[in-house]
Structure 1
Amino acid sequence: MISLLKTQCLAWALILAVVFPFFVQANTPLSPAERAASIDGIVHILNQQYVFPETALKVSALLQQQEQNGALAAITTQEQFADKVGALMRQYSGDGHLNLALIAEQGGVSHRLTETEERKINNFAFEQARILQGNVGYLKLHKFWQAEEAHKVGHAALVFLSHSDHIVIDLRDSGGGSPQLVQYLISHFVPEGTLLWDLLDRNGKSTEQVRSLAVPDSELLKTKPLYILQSDGLVSAGEFFSYTLQQLGRAVVIGETSVGLAHYTGAAQVNDWLFVRIPMYRPINPVTGTNFEGVGVEPNIKVTAEMALYTALRLANKGR
């Protein structure tokens, strides 16, 4: 009888959670004083850390103006604040990397986005490594994970493909992630010590030169014709990968122009419930002297994302 009651209670709890989700998704109240203090905290962080000082000043002034003229008075919860003020920051800066997040929701302060999509979690987002018709090696990647295990999985996949005649890397459904994994994967295709990008701080001072690494069992890959597939949703780390190999003359990029989010992003705590993900460093490509921020990576061969793989296979199998 007790077991039956427990089962019935659990069933009702599940029904209530589905039918009345507001029972478990309560918003946290935010007073006008707390809202104003949070704006001040964001402004301080922007002017101390944002990659472009002039943009930081502009965004700060606009946020303070919005608060002072009462335009933010309708924001009465922490959740609304993170959502609406974060959107304003991106609107004023034109920077898709700039956003606010709740510490409780994210489980702490981190520049890494909480990932929930299965294909971006399973096997560290390496979904496929196979040989297509014509001995074309194909690798499908959904995200650049910041984990040592991701390096091992990526290396194993590329070594498996190294005896194919051509390599296709499919980033059409990929998101951002780790520049360290980008560096490591690129290192399979270029000579050790190749300058990949220079990292500048908000004052334009070089803080690091990122070069390709020594990678075992990668010699065959360094001479294989390489095609990278991208869509108009590709962002950040995925763009780094395609842009760097394209500008080095090492890969042909096929598909659509990507989003254009190039900056290194960190995280800074505003108060005990809020933090800001904020671009802090600007990468500079040694070939172009710039990057893809705001303009995206322009493909060598522009076709729809749906036609990108077909186009790559036609190129790889030309003459067969």
Structure 2
Amino acid sequence: MTQGRFVRNLIISLLLIPSMTFADNIDNSRKAEILSNLKQEISEQYIIEDSIPGILASLDSLSSTDFLVKLPDGNKFAEVINEKLKQFDRHFSLSWSNPNEISTKPRTESYWDRLDRKNSGFSKVEILEGNIGYIEFWGFDRVNVKSEQRVANVMSFISETDAIIFDLRNNGGGSPRMIQLLSGYLFNERTQLSSIYWRNSDETEEFWTSTDIRGKKRPTIPIYVLTSNDTFSAAEAFTYDLKSLKRATIVGETTGGGANPMRFVDFGDGFIAGIPYGRAINPITKTNWEWVGVTPDIETSREQALETAYISALNTLLNVSRNDSQKIEIKNKLKDLTAH
């Protein structure tokens, strides 16, 4: 075969190779190293120390050569480990992205970037008939000048309502600082909401309602929080705090059950693990909602949660309102809602 024909055939052969890049395949020694590093990080950082032996034993069961051979690519390897870890704590994670892949896709937007771009998660704010404020938001943004102003705008819009419904049915959580800021509008006095014990520093950090409030406080009006099984993490903390302090009525489904905040650890080659290293502690219950979730005061489906809370709020206001026009408005709305 001539050299030119050999080169041409070689190029054709390379073009016929599947699109998977060589970096997609992680050799067994590297996978074993990642498992070993992951177990070490869990041993040193994971917050529920009594559970560590069981987690390590579970990961050991995945470390055999025969098993690793069945997971040749990084993505599948991470998926299997991720699924195993979440059996112990829903905040655990292991993800993989190909560091050598030249992608034509746009860079994946982070949760925080998305919150910043989309009004800090506030997707709907309105005043329902009967003078009830309704606030729907899907995340707890980091607290900064921009997000503080957005919260102030939201709370200003519903500042003259007689009750508030917070809709957290699609809220995946976020920053505990936002919990402090929002809760600051709902209490007259500075109030402790929770604490978090950090294992790495062996310190306990207390979280209190914010005193830096821009606008009117609403310390006495009825508060309702809508929940679903997708309500998670900081959204659960907000719900649990208000329920424990008897400041809100929770309506909907039991929440997801993720109470332990996590930190990310980069293992290189595109592997990043999320390891829970803190434990939320409520000052009243002395515990949290890990795995069990936050149980609602009024249990109903996520689809019926808003209507159920709305009817409850209307009935409450009907009993206390001194405004005849408002009472007529409430009665008419209750008639509409209960007619079907």
The normalised TM-score by structure 2 is 0.78
Q: Which residue of 2 aligns with 1:250?
A: 247
1:101 aligns with 2:98: no
Q: Secondary structure at the match of 1:239?
A: helix
**Count of aligned residue pairs for this structure pair:** 291
Distance 2:56 2:39 in 1: 5
1:86 aligns with 2:89: no
1:62 aligns with 2:58: yes
1:27 is displaced (CA, Å) by 6.2
- Out of 47, 52, 57, which is 2:48 matched to? 52
Q: Which residue of 2 aligns with 1:35?
A: 31
1:126 is displaced (CA, Å) by 0.4
Can you list the C-alpha shifts for 1:119-160, whole angstroms capped at 9, x where unaligned? 995222101111110111111101112252233212210122
Change (3 A) 1:37 1:96: same
Percent identity for Structure 1 against Structure 2: 29
Distance 2:248 2:219 in 1: 11
Change (3 A) 1:120 1:71: farther
- Out of 198, 202, 218, which is 1:201 matched to? 198
Quick check: 1:175–1:238 contact (8 Å CA) kept in 2? yes
Can you list the C-alpha shifts for 1:11-56, whole angstroms capped at 9, x where unaligned? xxxxxxxxxxx85888611001111111111011101111112322
**Partner amino acid, structure 2, of 1:30:** I
Change (3 A) 1:152 1:217: closer
- Out of 101, 110, 114, which is 2:110 matched to? 114
1:222 is displaced (CA, Å) by 1.6
Distance 2:19 2:143 in 1: 36
Note the residue ranges of structure 1 that are not aligned, 5 or more in a row.
1-21, 106-112
1:104 is displaced (CA, Å) by 5.7
1:74 aligns with 2:77: no
Q: Secondary structure at the match of 1:293?
A: coil
- Out of 183, 187, 194, which is 1:186 matched to? 183
**Partner amino acid, structure 2, of 1:154:** V
Deviates more, 1:309-318 or 1:29-38: 309-318
1:283 aligns with 2:280: yes
**Partner amino acid, structure 2, of 1:145:** D
Distance 1:193 1:133 in 2: 32
Change (3 A) 1:186 1:89: same
Distance 1:216 1:156 in 2: 12
Quick check: 2:45–2:200 contact (8 Å CA) kept in 1? no
What is the root-mean-square deviation in Å for CA atoms of aligned residues?
2.7
Q: Which residue of 2 aligns with 1:138?
A: 134
Q: Which residue of 2 aligns with 1:297?
A: 294
Note the residue ranges of structure 2 that are not aligned, 5 or more in a row.
1-17, 100-108, 319-326, 328-340
Quick check: 1:41–1:271 contact (8 Å CA) kept in 2? no
Can you list the C-alpha shifts for 1:162-206, whole angstroms capped at 9, x where unaligned? 110111111112112111111211121123431111111348954
> Who wins on radius of gyration, i.e. which is larger?
2
- Out of 152, 156, 159, which is 1:159 matched to? 156
Q: Secondary structure at the match of 1:311?
A: helix
**Partner amino acid, structure 2, of 1:144:** F
**Partner amino acid, structure 2, of 1:96:** R
Residue pairs, 1:204-283, within 5 angstroms: 205-283=202-280
1:314 is displaced (CA, Å) by 1.3
Q: Which residue of 1 aligns with 2:7?
A: none
Q: Secondary structure at the match of 1:101?
A: strand
1:175 aligns with 2:169: no
**Partner amino acid, structure 2, of 1:293:** E
Distance 2:176 2:22 in 1: 36
Can you list the C-alpha shifts for 1:264-292, whole angstroms capped at 9, x where unaligned? 11111223421211111001001111001
Can you list the C-alpha shifts for 1:52-88, whole angstroms capped at 9, x where unaligned? 1232232122212321363232111111221111111
Q: Secondary structure at the match of 1:222?
A: coil
Quick check: 2:142–2:174 contact (8 Å CA) kept in 1? yes
**Partner amino acid, structure 1, of 2:287:** T
